[in-house]
Amino acid sequence: MDDKKFTIGILTSGGDSPGMNPCIRAAVRAAAENNAQVIGVMNGYEGLINGEFRPLGARDVGGILQRGGTILQTRRSERFLEKHFQREAIRNMNGAGMDGLIVIGGEGSLRGAHALAEQGVKVIGLPGSIDNDIWGTDIAIGVDTAMNTIMDAVDKLRDTASSHGRAFLVETMGRGSGYLAVMAGIVTGAEMILIPEVPVTVKEVAKSVDDAYTRGKTHAIIIVAEGASVKIADLAKALDDMDVGFSTRVTILGHIQRGGSPTAYERMLASRLGVRAVEAILAGETDMMVGVQGRDLALVPLTEVTGRTRPVRPEYIEMAHTLAR
Ligand code: F6P
């Protein structure tokens, strides 16, 4: 009699994002509820290639709900782009008795998931990236926590900016997307937001800061997305050279945005996605990502998700500018 339980592999890949741990926990426990078992793959696709596996039972994921990062570790894998290593990974999965795989990560990681699905592996992807640039989902795991981290940091910077009458240039992450910068601009009341989607020159920005000073602003917060057409160091230099009224300070928030305890919203989102991924894989679905659409979760084909970028909604860009007056 074959009493082998359906076995699901799970990995986190690419940049980590707060919420990955609650998602892993939810998947493991939902699997247990459905009489399936989970094997954790360490170090993303690198661990799949190397066969770095560890069984994950319900008790193994206790106490991780509130922890940032990922207990499975994550890597960016160049090797996994090569067919030869993908085949090696599939061999390892078969050897470990895996019947399916859940991949939590950004667009590059979901591309890897699709490559496996094309070779017959049952794969479900989950969107995990603070950048919120993944097509097919309103929001990804990590975005809400990162936003709250940025908001907290910028609120603090505003305190000191206003005490000293300074302009603060604050760089947010997001790779080629201005999402975090736009939303951060709105929720912190930034005076200016520079994003890749709306290219500007250093001169134009310096002129606007000068105008803001002349209009009577007592300090200024300028959020600069890391992918913006203007680099923060060049801008700081230009503001100093041009004497725009304010003296300038630069803060690069950096990887602090990727850490921290997931927010309540994040834990809920990650838990829902983890449970839904297990349900989908047990129902025989493959080559799909579970996305958030409105209040609901929906399966989106990975072929639609990969090679595309979720745009920032133009009305938010407009609103950010309106409110920055
Ligand atoms: O994709 C998430 C992200 O944090 C981007 O916002 C950023 O450009 C990149 O990863 C940084 O990557 P790394 O951690 O490899 O430096």
Active site residue 131: yes
Residues 138 and 48 in one domain: yes
Complete DSSP assignment for 143-155: HHHHHHHHHHHHH
Residue 268 lies in a domain: yes
Please tell me the distance from the alpha carbon of residue 253 to that of residue 205, in angstroms, as a whole number. Answer: 20
Residues 189 and 240 in one domain: yes
Residue 21 lies in a domain: yes
- Structural domains counted in the chain: 2
Mean pLDDT, to the nearest integer, of 133-152? 98
Residues forming a β-bridge with 37 = 7
Residue 223 lies in a domain: yes
State residue 2's pLDDT score: 57
Residues 184 and 232 in one domain: yes
Q: How far is the CA of 206 from the centre of ligand 1 (A)?
A: 28
Contacts for 172 with CB less than 8 Å, ≥ 6 apart? 150, 180, 181, 184, 223, 224, 225, 226, 253, 257
Residues 168 and 51 in one domain: no
Residues 148 and 138 in one domain: no
Residue 313 lies in a domain: no
Q: Which helix (H) or strand (E) holds 33?
A: helix 20-33
pLDDT by residue (tens digit) across 78-133? Answer: 999 999 999 999 999 999 999 999 999 999 999 999 999 999 999 999 999 999 99
Residues 138 and 267 in one domain: yes
Residues 224 and 78 in one domain: no
State residue 3's pLDDT score: 78
Residue 37 lies in a domain: yes
What is the number of the ligand 1 atom nearest to the C-alpha of 180? Answer: 6
Q: How far is the CA of 241 from the centre of ligand 1 (A)?
A: 31
Residue 320 lies in a domain: no
Catalytic residue among 3, 16, 60, 131: 131
State residue 50's pLDDT score: 98
Residues 125 and 58 in one domain: yes
What is the number of the ligand 1 atom nearest to the C-alpha of 173? Answer: 6
Inter-CA distances, 146 with 47, 132, 210, 257, Å: 27, 10, 31, 5
Lowest mean pLDDT among 104-108, 145-149, 206-210: 206-210
Please tell me the distance from the alpha carbon of residue 207 to that of residue 221, in angstroms, as a whole number. Answer: 15
Mean pLDDT, to the nearest integer, of 262-275? 98
CATH number of the domain within which 118 lies: 3.40.50.450
Mean pLDDT, to the nearest integer, of 43-53? 98
Residues 213 and 167 in one domain: yes
The token pair at 70 is 């990922």
Q: How far is the CA of 322 from the centre of ligand 1 (A)?
A: 29
Residue 63 lies in a domain: yes
**Quick check: 271 and 283 in contact, CB under 8 A?**
no
Q: Whose CA is nearest to atom 9 of ligand 1?
A: 175
Mean pLDDT, to the nearest integer, of 241-252? 93
Pocket test for ligand 1, best of 17, 77, 130 (most atoms within 8 A of CB): 130
Mean pLDDT, to the nearest integer, of 236-258? 94
Residue 308: pLDDT band (50, 70, 90) is very high
Kindly tell me if the per-residue pLDDT of 230 is higher than 80: yes
What is the number of the ligand 1 atom nearest to the C-alpha of 130? Answer: 2
**Quick check: 141 and 64 in contact, CB under 8 A?**
no
Residues 267 and 128 in one domain: yes
CATH number of the domain within which 216 lies: 3.40.50.460
Q: Which helix (H) or strand (E) holds 124?
A: strand 123-127
What is the number of the ligand 1 atom nearest to the C-alpha of 258? Answer: 4
Nearest to 235 by CA among 151, 171, 323: 171
Domain that holds residue 225: 143-258
Residues with CB under 6 A from ligand 1: 15, 106, 129-131, 173-175, 226, 258
Residues 164 and 121 in one domain: no
Please tell me the distance from the alpha carbon of residue 107 to that of residue 13, in angstroms, as a whole number. Answer: 10
* Per-residue DSSP letter, 307: T
Residues 24 and 92 in one domain: yes
Mean pLDDT, to the nearest integer, of 138-155? 98
Q: Whose CA is nearest to atom 12 of ligand 1?
A: 15
Q: Whose CA is nearest to atom 15 of ligand 1?
A: 15
Q: Which of 240, 258, 276 is the last residue of a domain?
A: 258
State residue 14's pLDDT score: 98
Contacts for 218 with CB less than 8 Å, ≥ 6 apart? 162, 165
Residue 1: pLDDT band (50, 70, 90) is very low
